[in-house]
A and B are shown apart, each in its own frame.
Chain A
Amino acid sequence: MEILVCVKRVPDTAENEIAIKSDGTDIQRDDLVYSVNEWDNYAVEEAIQIRDKVGGSVTVVTVGDSEAEEVLRRQMAMGADNGILLADDAFEGSDGRGIAAILKAVVAKGKYDLVLTGAQADDGAAQVGGMLAAMLDWPYASLVNKIDTGDKSLKIGREIEGGNQEMNEIDLPCVLSIQTGINEPRYVGIRGIRKVASIEIPTYAAADLGVAADAVGPAAARVKRVDYFTPEMGAGAEILEGSMEEKIDKLIELLKAKGGLK
């Protein structure tokens, strides 16, 4: 099975303190560290496991600048066979639909049976997978937490309320958005990344993909970001101050007072 996994380089939420720039245009990025979006990591692991079971290849693709190459390498160190970097100044400032349009073009360039995305990105809005499927006119299922491979179709699962499982059948080719917990992604060490350091990763610009520059980017965006701010403290909200110990003591006191702890 030929599988394409769409991945994204995002600020690592576990290892950053996110603060907003005073002018509201963006978050402060000076001290950020980046990694592959967590959901995408599960998607790549799933793709590798499917390939190891039924054969084929796994390609990882990302839309980004040259720095995004590091996440491609990391996923290739995990076991993806190929990487594709989609970089063009024209892509910057695209909305979700713009990104989906770029990815649609790369899907069209290859012969893929299955496209996986993460269910959402740490810094995203969970739009691209669905839009990509619609543009390709392929079936789409989201929040997938189980995949059983078949010949022309897949059996896929989704968790529903109460910890229960729903199973669906979907025809290939299709687009799936992958939920965390579908597998246990393998570890990628420094050694693994060094091993793939010299593999050539092709970079495609808008022209290579046959994407019109005005179909993507800020001009084509129909959703425009206008502001970032930290919400005002609302009525009933309280922020605990002090050292960790003091905060914990206060929290326990509060929980006891409101009957949450006995």
Chain B
Amino acid sequence: MDFALIPPAHSTFLFIPAFIFYTLLPVAGITFFIYQIVMRLKPMVLAQPDKPVSEILKESPARLMQVLKIWLLQVRQPRYMLAGVIHILLFFGFLILAVRSTELMFVGIKADFSFPFMDGTFGAVYSVIRSYAATWVLVVALMAMYRRLVTKPARYAVPAKYGKPHTAEAVFVLGMICTLVLMESLFEGSLVAAQNQQGMQAHTLAPLTLAWFFELILSSASQSTLQFLHSAAYFLHDVTFFTFLCFLPLGKHFHVVTSLFNVFLMRVRRGNIKPVRYGVSNDQLDNLESFGVKNLEDFTWRHILHFYSCVDCGRCSDNCPANAVGRPLSPRFISIKGRQLVFGRHPFFGPSKVEKAPLIGTTYEEDEIWSCTTCGACEQECPVGIEYIDKIVDLRRGMVDEGMVPQSLQKPLSAIEKRGNPWGKMEKKRGEWIKQLDSEVSVKLLEGGDTTDVLFFVDSITSFDDRMQSIGCATATLLHRAGVDFGILGKGEKDSGHEVRRFGEEMLFQSLREHNTEMIQESGATRIVTADPHTLNALKNDYEDLPPVEHISQFLAKQVRKGLLHFKPSVNGDKVYTYHDPCYLGRHNGVYDDPREVLDAIPGMRRVDMKRCKDRSFCCGGGGLMLFYEPEEEQRMGVLRVKMAEEAGANVIVTACPFCLVNMEDAIKVAGLEGKMEAIDLSELVVAHLAD
């Protein structure tokens, strides 16, 4: 084979054949990379168990689907349009150029190397595609650099308390990416220029690609210049390639390696909470020495993988309501701080520093961990499938086990333990709200061992809060009007324990679950209805062996579809309604359309959606025990949310959750919008519009 220029494999440097270097470099680079990976795996091996591999594999179809959608097709990326498109182009550029780069690596050893499948049409087509890929990668890498250095989107900023900005690392990597595609193209462009000068058969370069530009510029360059550029480009490409590879495990660019696995391993179920420890059944829990996460080693191996996979893009924190109102929580830094700790404890060289230093008070702060409402916005957004709720709950379990519970939460927890509700109201008064119902609406009070077909699980706030009892009444009225045979447990019902579990008091939750499960089973119910999304989520995702559970909005939507609900037209002409998606109805249980369908069935109702709606809904401030917690914050989440409704041009906020209603009504007052804005529960609104 004739070469227009001396190929790298045939060249010499200081009389030493270059192929020796080009053989040793990949060997050294790959060896060091594997060493790094092994060292990164070590903390995962030392970590707690996660879901058993057999169960993970059983869920393969769903997991592969997530890999296809979230990893390969990058469906979460365009939620931030510009950054998303840039990333998609970079990502596909990488996938395409990976083959070319591997091929180039071998060219340094054997000058005429090419993969067998690169002969023929496939090779020709690939060659065109990868030339364009290299070109667009340069363009988007420069755009990304411009964003990092000039535009500086707020979500990339690192608040002073979390350390230094991460711009340098990002720009350095983008610089390496630019170098790679430029050198690869210069290597090819200089060769084709030489081939053309010597009248050899040269392959056609795709027009307007980088290699094409280089060939154009170098068409009349001297042979020695071309030779120098050709050799230097190869050298720089090879060195940069292995520098890049070994740089990945050092920081946020590790996601290039880990994201595929992270997405495969992400949650396939929503709304649930991980067990205290995988492999330990509920009745063995008492034997555990310690509960939850107290030290780094208490995280599961998958949680360590999360730390490795964080891309530092800031999307989680940009959507975190706690972060938005100035609470001391930014989910992004849960990961970044975790990663820094793992890297610090397990250096590449030298022994691991295994020290039992509690995470709370060093890496994480108490208020930081209590600030989370478990709304799930961060998990919904993360492009690589990092999860936060389980970590927050595990850290809270650790704090509860150590007695570190804010005083504001101790009272309601103790009241739930003693009385089954966070206010400490008497059990016998739990069913008293039904006395407010119209006499024609009959509710069976299942306190004397009676049974029922449908059980209305009311839960604490709707049973005891003066204002929220109206949601109970509306729900009972709707069930009654639909001719449903239903009852409530009354004093036999205890708090579902939804927030008790999410605030880390697992054993109290389990005793509530045991009690309620028994009561529900004794009621003989074949279906459960609730008006509280937290209850829905608890019964559906935290409890086991219960009859099917649905939220009243799902029940109503079915009635609408069957044509069984008849409405009178909405008469208030100046009212514009907006629906606020409760986190535990929407994001955690996927019910977005049913409530909207019900609202749209009311004739004459004007409804708008807020900019943040459906899976990007913004938490009202949290439910259950969160009502009692006194966070450090600059303003209330509810106030921000009410302002979003105002911005959307609405003056009535419709919710489908008693906690949302509490928070919205309070926020309307705090925001000074009384008289201009109101909040109402879907069930109340429907009752008000029922045709007689």
Query: What is the chain B residue whose CB lies nearest that of A31?
Result: B426
Q: B286 touching A187 by the CB < 8 A rule?
A: no
Which residues from B are CB-within-8-Å of A15? 414-415, 418-419, 424
Within 8 A of B (CB), among A11-36: 12, 14-17, 31, 33, 35
**How many residue pairs bridge A and B at CB < 8 Å?**
64
- Flag the segment in A110-118, A189-197, A207-215, A225-233 that touches B: A189-197
Q: Is the CB of B424 within 8 A of A16?
A: yes
Asked if B291 is at the interface of the complex by the 8 Å CB criterion, the answer is yes
Set A12, A191, A244: member contacting B291, Cβ < 8 A: A191
| Interface membership of B152, Cβ < 8 A | no
Please tell me which one of the listed residues A12, A189, A191 contacts residue B418 in the complex, with CB atoms under 8 A apart: A12
CB-CB contacts of B401-424 with A at 8 A, as 1s and 0s?
111110101110111011100001
> Smallest CB–CB gap between A110 and chain B, Å?
26
A103 to B505, CA, bound (A): 36
- Determine if B508 and A31 form an interchain contact, defined as CB atoms under 8 angstroms apart: no
Q: Name the interface residues of A180-229: CB closer than 8 Å to any CB of B.
A: 184-192, 194-195
Q: Is the beta-carbon distance between B403 and A192 smaller than 8 angstroms? A: yes
Number of A residues near B (Cβ < 8 Å) is 24
The reply to whether A78 and B403 contact each other, CB–CB distance below 8 Å, is yes
- Asked if B400 lies at the interface with its beta carbon under 8 angstroms from chain A, I say yes
Please state if B403 and A190 are interface contacts (CB–CB under 8 Å): no
Q: Which residues of B contact A192 (CB under 8 A)?
A: 401, 403
A31 to B419, CA, bound (A): 10
Residues of chain A with a CB closer than 8 A to B428's CB: 31
- Which listed residue (A185, A195, A243) contacts B466, Cβ 8 A? A243
Smallest CB gap from A77: residue in B: B403
CA distance in complex: A206, B402 (Å): 37
Does A245 count as interface, using CB distance less than 8 angstroms? yes
For the complex of A and B, list the 5 residue pairs with the smallest distance between their C-beta atoms, beginning with the closest. A186-B403, A15-B424, A187-B405, A190-B507, A33-B418
B419: contacting residue among A33, A189, A190, CB under 8 A: A33
Q: Check if B511 is an interface residue, CB within 8 A of chain A.
A: yes
Q: Which B432-471 residues have a C-beta within 8 angstroms of A?
A: 466
Q: Find out whether the CB atom of A191 lies under 8 angstroms from the CB atom of B419.
A: no
- The majority secondary structure among interface residues of chain B is helix
Taking CB atoms, residues of chain A closer than 8 Å to B411 are: 14
> Contact: A187 with B404, CB < 8 Å?
yes
| A194 to B400 Cα, complex, angstroms | 14
Determine how close the nearest CB of chain B comes to the CB of A174; give it in whole angstroms.
Answer: 27
23 contacts between A and B (CB under 8 A): A12-B414, A15-B415, A15-B419, A16-B426, A17-B426, A31-B426, A33-B418, A35-B414, A79-B403, A186-B404, A187-B400, A187-B413, A189-B401, A189-B413, A190-B417, A191-B285, A191-B291, A191-B401, A192-B401, A192-B403, A194-B286, A194-B507, A195-B286
The complex places the Cα of A184 from the Cα of B286 at a distance, in Å, of 27
Complex CA–CA separation, A224 to B281 (angstroms):
55
Besides the known contacts A12-B424, A192-B403, 5 further A-B residue pairs in the complex with CB atoms under 8 A apart: A14-B411, A33-B418, A35-B418, A187-B400, A195-B286
User: Across the two chains, which residue of chain A brings its CB closest to B507?
Assistant: A190
For B291, B400, B407, the residue with the greatest tally of chain A CB atoms inside 10 Å of its CB is B400
Rounded to whole angstroms, the CA-CA distance of A147 and B506 in the bound complex is 35
List residues of chain A with CB within 8 A of the CB of B505.
189-190
Set of chain B residues within 8 Å of A188, measured between Cβ atoms: 403
CB-contact partner of A191 in B286, B405, B413, under 8 A? B286
Please, how many angstroms separate the alpha-carbon atoms of A12 and B285 in the complex? 29
**Which residues on B sit within 8 Å (CB–CB) of A243?**
466
Give CA–CA (A16, B413) in the complex, Å.
Answer: 15
Q: Whole-angstrom distance between the alpha carbons of A195 and B428 in the complex?
A: 31
| CB closest chain-A residue, reference B429 | A17
Which residue from B286, B400, B415, B427 sits with its C-beta under 8 Å from A189?
B400
Q: Which of chain B's residues 280-310 have a Cβ closer than 8 Å to chain A? A: 285-286, 291
Q: A15-B419, A15-B424, A243-B466 are in contact. Are A191 and B507 (CB under 8 A)?
A: yes
A14 touches B415 (CB 8 A): yes
The reply to whether A244 and B424 form a contact with Cβ atoms under 8 Å apart is no
Which residues from chain B contact A12 at a C-beta distance below 8 Å? 414, 418, 424
Q: Is the Cβ of A244 less than 8 Å from the Cβ of B403?
A: no
Chain B CB count within 10 A is highest, among A191, A243, A244, for A191
A107 to B506: give the CA distance in the assembly, Å.
39
B402, closest chain A residue (CB) = A186
